[in-house]
Chains A and B, each alone.
Chain A
Amino acid sequence: GEDVEQSLFLSVREGDSSVINCTYTDSSSTYLYWYKQEPGAGLQLLTYIFSNMDMKQDQRLTVLLNKKDKHLSLRIADTQTGDSAIYFCAEKDNQGGKLIFGQGTELSVKP
Chain B
Amino acid sequence: NAGVTQTPKFRILKIGQSMTLQCAQDMNHNYMYWYRQDPGMGLKLIYYSVGAGITDKGEVPNGYNVSRSTTEDFPLRLELAAPSQTSVYFCASSSSYEQYFGPGTRLTVT
Q: Does chain A bind chain B?
A: no
